[in-house]
């Protein structure tokens, strides 16, 4: 895909610090780490967003994410790992080539997600949304 920065990394048109590669996926260090050691895994073929990506690629991305999470724990002594995958600008996605973030976490690493749980007005409101989802599943 033209002008896709991650396709350019795959084509070796721009550099990346690669940590893992096979026929389907490439994993490399994120240049703007939320926590040092933050890595990304991408498919070698351009897909985006998750809803347009074949199931076998989704599986491969997450199997690779598991390998990287294990490596972060073993190599860095990470106490935990966040696995994230953004879809669409509304979600905060900046690079429109599907990618999974693997972020090592440490006790007292100082990072806090801006995660503020809200409440439903009542159970009916939640059940109505659940019903709409069920119809699509």
Using CB under 6 A as the binding rule, whether residue 5 contacts ligand AMP is answered as yes
Strands 39-43 and 80-84: unpaired
Footprint on residues 44-103 left by ligand AMP (CB under 6 A): 86, 92-95
Decide whether 6 or 28 has the Cβ nearer to Zn ion.
6
Told to judge if 46 belongs to the known catalytic residues of this protein, a careful annotator would answer no
Decide whether 18 or 130 has the Cβ nearer to ligand AMP.
18
Residue 48 and residue 46: Cα distance in Å, rounded? 7
x-or-dash string of contact with ligand AMP, 8-47, rule CB under 6 A: --------x-------------xxx-------x-------
User: What is the closest distance, in whole angstroms, from the C-beta atom of residue 65 to Zn ion in the complex?
Assistant: 18
Omega before 49 within 30 of 0, i.e. cis: yes
User: What is the closest distance, in whole angstroms, from the C-beta atom of residue 13 to ligand AMP in the complex?
Assistant: 11
Beta bridge partners of 40: 28, 101
E strands in the chain: 18-21, 25-29, 39-43, 80-84, 100-105
Closest CA to 57 of 37, 40, 42: 42
Q: Which range of residues in 29-37, 87-95, 96-104, 122-130 is near Zn ion by CB under 5 A? A: 96-104
Active-site pick, 38, 62, 97, 99:
99
**Residues with a known catalytic role:** 99
């Amino acid at each position: 895909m033209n002008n896709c920065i991650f396709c350019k990394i795959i084509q070796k048109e721009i550099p990346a610090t690669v940590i893992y590669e096979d026929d389907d996926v490439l994993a490399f260090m994120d240049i703007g780490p939320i926590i040092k050691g933050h890595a990304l895994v991408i498919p070698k073929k351009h897909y985006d967003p998750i809803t347009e990506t074949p199931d076998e690629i989704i599986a491969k991305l997450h199997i690779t994410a598991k390998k990287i999470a294990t490596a972060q724990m073993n190599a860095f002594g990470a106490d935990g790992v966040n696995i994230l995958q953004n879809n669409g600008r509304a979600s905060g996605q900046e690079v429109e080539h599907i990618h999974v973030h693997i972020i090592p976490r440490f006790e007292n690493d100082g990072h806090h997600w801006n995660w503020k749980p809200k409440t439903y007005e009542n159970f009916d409101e939640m059940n109505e949304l659940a019903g709409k989802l069920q119809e699509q599943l």
